[in-house]
Structure 1
Amino acid sequence: MQDYALEVTARALIVKNRQLLLVSNDYKLWYTPGGHLHPSETLPACMVREVKEETDIDVQPNQIVYVAEFFDKKHNVHKVEVYFAAEICTDELPKHWLDQDGPVKTYQFFDVEALKDIHVAPAFLKTGKWLNSGLDIYQGSEKR
């Protein structure tokens, strides 16, 4: 069996007006804001920090609603992604934001119908299950 580095990420499912906030670095692949867990931080703190870095939006973490794991064979990484429901803490979203230290170039809200027409990861986002709290939290190992 091949050795893989373990990588844990905390990600946010931010829903406003029945639309999901996604980020992109190339306008082709869209994904939820979030990122790598530092050894000294908790999962909720990681999610809050990463959302702020990637979007300049302050959020409040709620419950974990989804956990995915997969093996990124291209980069020899075993990834575990923990998705939190999160609430935006402000009425005004940043207008002139830039992720200076990271790859994210833009963010946008999408409704379920719009998700059908874009490349989004992970695939479960296209189902619209994020609109309710009825998610099965652990989805098992995904193929990517």
Structure 2
Amino acid sequence: MTIAFERNGMQFDFRASGIAIHCGHVLLVRIERYPFWFLPGGHVEIGELADAAMIREMREETGLDIKIDRIVWVVENFFTLDGKRHQELGFYYLVTPPSGAPQLDLSKEFYGTEENGTPLIFRWHRLDALADLNIFPSFLRAGLTALPASISHLVQNDLP
């Protein structure tokens, strides 16, 4: 059971995300019906450690057996999606994908699915081209190009 619920008209989600960087590119994902990109990952389940959730989600969605290097950010993210207000607590991990994996081909998109069957589109994006990319949370445009040396706590508030 995932740690996600609604209270007083606001959705709360506990999410773990992976920052996979390869040859000057970062792996991002998009759901076809949305025009924005985000880091791969997913909900943490009750009783599950966030780093274990990150490993599980990456395996389920991408087929990659990643190695976690370190936690980079803890983010309190407030946003609206499909007219619903969200509060997300996110743990962002720097991860290393296995060398030689076919998903490391920078020239090709690859595809996965959410547990509920929602199709996912994965693409490697150049780190030096993120400034103009529709990516959320928006701090990632600059943040991914200069990862902090130690864990950092951020609050991202995109609520109207």
TM-score interval for Structure 1 and Structure 2 normalised by the shorter chain: 0.7 to 0.9
1:80 aligned to 2:64?
no
TM-score (norm 2): 0.75
Give 2:113's aligned residue: 99
Greater RCO (Cα-Cα under 8 Å, separation 6 or more): 1
SS of structure 2 residue aligned to 1:10: strand
Shift, 1:141, TM fit: 4.2
Distance (Å, rounded) in 2 between the aligned partners of 1:12 and 1:100: 15
Q: Does the aligned pair in 2 maintain the 1:10–1:84 contact within 8 Å?
A: yes
Distance (Å, rounded) in 2 between the aligned partners of 1:91 and 1:59: 12
1:71 aligned to 2:71?
no
Give 1:21's aligned residue: 27
Q: What is the aligned-residue RMSD (CA, Å)?
A: 2.6
Q: Does the aligned pair in 2 maintain the 1:14–1:88 contact within 8 Å?
A: yes
TM-score (norm 1): 0.82
Shift, 1:5, TM fit: 4.8
- Give the ranges of 4+ consecutive aligned residues of structure 1 lying more than 6 Å apart after TM superposition: none
Distance (Å, rounded) in 2 between the aligned partners of 1:83 and 1:8: 11
Q: Does the aligned pair in 2 maintain the 1:54–1:104 contact within 8 Å?
A: no
Where do 1:36-75 residues align within 5 Å? Answer: 36-72=43-79, 74-75=83-84
Name which of 120, 124, 138 aligns with 2:153.
Answer: 138
Identity %: 23
Runs of 5+ consecutive residues of structure 2 not aligned to the other structure: 1-6
Amino acid at match of 1:78: Q
Runs of 5+ consecutive residues of structure 1 not aligned to the other structure: none
Give 1:89's aligned residue: 98
1:33 aligned to 2:40?
yes
Q: Does the aligned pair in 2 maintain the 1:56–1:97 contact within 8 Å?
A: no
1:77 and 1:116, CA in 2 relative to 1: closer, same or farther beyond 3 A? Answer: closer
1:12 aligned to 2:21?
no
Shift, 1:124, TM fit: 1.9
